[in-house]
Amino acid sequence: MNDWLLLSFDILILFILLGLAWLTCNTKEIKRGVTLFVAFGLLLAVIWARLKAPDLALAEAIIGAGISGALLLKAMRDYTEQTSLSSETSRFYVWGINAASLALFVLLAWGLWHALERSDGVRLAENVLITTPESGVSHPVTAVLLNFRAYDTLLELAVVFTAVLVVLAMGTKQRDFGKGEPILIAMVRWLAPILIVTSGYLLWVGAHAPGGAFQAGAMLAAAFILMSMTGVRVDSMLNDSSMRWLLVIGIGVFTITGIVMLLINGHFLAYSKELAKMLILLIEAAATLSIAAALTLAYLGGMPKPQQKTQSAVKIDKTEEGTS
């Protein structure tokens, strides 16, 4: 009986997911499309959880729905001139999105068929489970991302860094939010510390359970984004130099670790067994800070503007110039 209920639930959320995807791509109202996209991401996280992929479920809920939704809502606030698509533009986008989606579906279907029918049947999962105790961590996903395929993770950090560089190249950040509503301010006062502590927990627990740098960094960025929505000047906590250091510390620590291991063991990012756990934790901590800084800057829309001097400060400067 329970199996039938779970199967019915899975079929239901599958059809709801397809319906949300269709409505998101076909709506003409941008605000409605963003709302549907966030709902789509949250439901997709539930599906990943049902597929027993908690790491992907966490990433989808935090990044795919939460951070991406916040970025889209911020873009809507900054560019309010056009809140809906014209019929001609909408038709063009709908056909383009449908064609791209169909091509992606065919590609994924071919890949699945090739993996199930035409492969030699050899799977790497068993080898990963056997060698995980030697990786320095006990969670197989973390072992793959930070040890066995650490080079791929380094490239992922480079992609995030490059994306933020594009945002920074577009100029200074967009205008700040005004002071939030009392209910929102009260909620953020309770929620922001919880998110920060949860970020630290996800970072630490990633060694032996679902979590890790990307989830922790996104959670930390979510705390800063919520604070900025209440009118808190998040960028005023750090100067330009500190922000640049936070952006590069993840890639820097990762690369330096790889070079040191190359000199010691003869292979890039080939950790010594006795140092693996410490090095993975060091890399993840640095990556968490970089990811949080990158996502926060992406939300702010660029580098913080320099602090404006008050009128009294300007008068003092003019007085000092006159006396000199």
The domain ranges of the chain are 1-84, 136-306
For residue 19, which of 5, 38, 7, 36 has the smallest C-alpha distance? 36
CA–CA dist 178, 186 (Å, integer) = 15
Instruction: Say how many CA atoms lie within 13 Å of 96 toward its Cβ.
Output: 6
CA–CA dist 296, 222 (Å, integer) = 8
Predicted local confidence at residue 85, as pLDDT: 56
Predicted local confidence at residue 312, as pLDDT: 42
Contact partners, residue 37, CB within 8 Å, separation at least 6: 24, 68, 69, 72
The DSSP string of 267-284 is STT---TTTHHHHHHHHH
Predicted local confidence at residue 65, as pLDDT: 81
CA–CA dist 17, 77 (Å, integer) = 27
CA–CA dist 52, 211 (Å, integer) = 14
Predicted local confidence at residue 168, as pLDDT: 78
Encode the chain (324 residues) as per-residue pLDDT tens digits: 577 888 888 889 889 998 888 888 777 777 888 888 889 989 999 999 888 888 888 888 888 888 888 778 777 766 655 555 555 556 677 778 778 888 998 998 888 887 777 666 667 777 888 888 888 888 888 888 888 888 888 998 898 888 888 877 776 555 555 666 777 778 888 888 898 999 999 888 888 888 888 888 888 888 888 888 777 666 666 666 777 888 889 999 999 999 998 898 888 888 888 888 899 999 999 999 999 888 888 887 755 554 444 444 444 444 444 554
**CATH topology for the 1-84 domain:** Four Helix Bundle (Hemerythrin (Met), subunit A) (1.20.120)
Predicted local confidence at residue 259, as pLDDT: 92
CA–CA dist 315, 324 (Å, integer) = 14
